[in-house]
Every structure is written in C-alpha cells, then in structure tokens.
A = this chain, B = another copy of it.
Amino acid sequence: MKDFEYQCQTKLIFGKNTEEKVGEETAKHSKRILLHYGKNSIKESGLYDKVIKSLKKNNIYFVELSGVVPNPRVELVREGIELCRKEKLDFILAVGGGSVIDSAKAIAAGINYSGDVWDFFIGKAVCEKAIPIGTVLTIPAAGSETSKGTVITNGGKKLSFSTNILRPVFSILNPELTYTLPNYQTACGVTDMFAHVVERYFTNTPHVDLTDKLCEATFRSIMLNAPLVIKNPKDYDLRAEIMWNGTIAHNGILGVGREEDWASHRMEHELSAAYDIAHGAGLAIMIPAWMKFVSKKNPSKFVQFARNVLDIKTSSEEEAINEAINKVENFFKEIGMPTRLSDIKVNETEITKLAKACAANQNQIGGYVTLKEKEILEIYRLAL
C-alpha cells in the first residue's frame, strides 16, 4: 500500500425531499450566492421552484447563471467569475448534474485568482483558494458532488484539475429527483461511475486488499442495479442504489493507497471534446477497447476482476479475461450504450487525429499500462 492523505469533508444529505433543506444548509455558509444550473429541465421538473422557495425562506440573496451544457464550457465559467465578483457573491449553489457542478467548481476556483481560470487546467497556476459550493444533484454519474475535480472544455480541449478545496461543503442527494431521467442518460451516468471504479481498480500497486474488495463490491452493485433501474425508472430503492454508487465510486475512498490509471478517461475526453457526445457514451466505447489492449500486456488484475467481480470459473486465465471483457461490453449494450466508435459515426481516418491530440496533452497516459501515441492509436482502432 502507498502512503496517502485523504479527506472528504462534504456533508451528504441523502433521501426523500432533501432538496427542501437547501436554503437552510446554504444559509450556514452564505447569504449572497450564485445559483448555477443548466437549461430548462430543473424548471420543468419543479425542482427550480422548490430551490427558490427554500432560498427565499432563508433570506438568501441569489443571482442566477444558467446555460451550463454537457462538456461545460470555459466561457460560461469566466462569465460566472465576473458575475460573482461584480455582485460580491461568496458561495455557489450548483443544481444539476456533473457538468453544472464542475462549472461551479471552476467558477469557485477562479474568483480569487487574478489570471485566467484556464491556467489551472493547463498547469500554469495552482489553485489555493476557492469559495465554497453546495450542490443539489440531479444526475448520478460524475461523482462531482463529493469529488475534488472539475473537467472543463475550452474549444477542442477538455481538461481537468483537482484540489481538495473544491469538494462541495454539502451535497443534497434525493433519488426521487432522478425518476425522470431518460434511460439513455441514466445509462451514461452508470457507465461513468463504473469507469471511476475501473480507473482505480486496475493498478499495479501491491497489497491493496481492502480497497480492491471495496472496488469489487461497487462494481457488483452497479452491474446488479443498473439493468434493473433501466426497467424500473421510478423505483426509489434502485434509484437510491445507483445514486449512492455514483458517490462511492468517486469520493476518492476507492483510490487511496494506490496508483490510479485514468487512461480510458483521457481517451474519452478527446472523443467528447471533438464530437460533443455524452461522456458516459464515450466511456462505454473506450473501456472495452482499453481492456482488450492492456489485458494482453498486464493480465493479472483482469484475472482477479473475472473471478471476484464476475464469478467466472473458467480455469484458463486467458479465457476468463476474454469472457470478463465480453461481459463488460454486453453490460454496456444491455443498458443501451454504444460500444463502438462506428456507433457514433467515427471512422478510421479520424482516430489518428484523436490519438495525436490525446498524446499531445500529456506525453503518456495510464498507470496500469502506460500508453504513448502508438498504443493509444491501437486502442482507438480496437474501438472501431
């Protein structure tokens, strides 16, 4: 096990009608806030009205900034920073999914920085101060409700940075708010949380027994509950399982004491930056391809995955691995995800550009198996 520091200070308020507590929780931190959200969905669902009512009841002055899109843009982040400065707002309430929360985190980070917020993403500056944010989560997926990271898109670049001070001070998680998510979006979220476990589980760090077992538990719970929730989208307990899996998958506890990988995420970010597809859909394409490639170079953890997560008994390790990867691909198909680049109309001529761009951002990616441009291209090819 590697040495580590871990602190996840986010207060979680989980359950029915918990969004009604948002004003009370926010008031513990601020009376002048930015209310940040996406487009119309929170208005159509009635969530917007409930949030406003709770804020007003607690005498909180709020300024609205809506318009966050999937793969949230740096332009809106800059607008949010200016707005907070002008209005002297010192707290951001993000109501939405991972994109809204990531956008809120980036705004929170940029307010006390004199340069351009993008500097944090390109490593030109280190974020040392951020105003606090709170969240009301509507899409279980990105885990941004407790994570320390934010992912923002700037033109064709989709980059991330993370620091513990970006973790929300509170997050409100009501599974009922996810009843109306279309199945496709639910499945994208499920794929994202599955990927967050993949990126941590596949490691070369030895002696991480408990954390391995916690990862395996989370994989199993996601794979059990996701197909059920697609069939029963208004089942409270299934929605609750998925929501809680999304948080556990990415609050960092599954990654302590070990090297993480993140190659699938990096390769996916090129996809969603170039084609503006949903992050989860891109991951459902990249993960099986990544697994096919790296399991050949470094099979050991895949054998463990086959045995402990998927109960594959086949004595041949190679067969067990192939069966495991097929099961993962079939799981994504079962919940309605694309699993090939051809499903999203990306063809062979384009993957060279993707591989080049992916290798350009960082010279090499991955940890379980490190990948340079040549290997990245091979993985994109396996995904065709």
Contacts and interface: CB of A to CB of B under 8 A. Distances in A.
Contacts of A220: 213
B1 A7 contact: no
Interface pairs A-B: 10 shortest CB-CB: A3-B15, A207-B237, A213-B217, A7-B11, A210-B221, A9-B9, A217-B217, A1-B240, A6-B12, A214-B217
B253 A253 contact: yes
Given A207-B237, A218-B213, A241-B210, A10 B10 contact: no
A233 interface: no
Contact of A8 (B8, B221, B256): B8
A53 to B, nearest CB: 20
A125 interface: no
Contact of A240 (B207, B213, B217): B207
A13 interface: yes
A257 B14 contact: yes
A240 B238 CA distance: 34
A2 interface: yes
State the copy count for this chain.
2
A15 B241 CA distance: 32
Contacts of A216: 217
Contact of A7 (B12, B210, B221): B12
Interface string A228-261: 0000000011101100110010000100110000
Interface string A2-34: 111111111111111010000000000000000
A18 B5 CA distance: 10
Given A221-B210, A224-B209, A241-B210, A15 B10 contact: no
Contacts of A1: 236-237, 240-241, 244
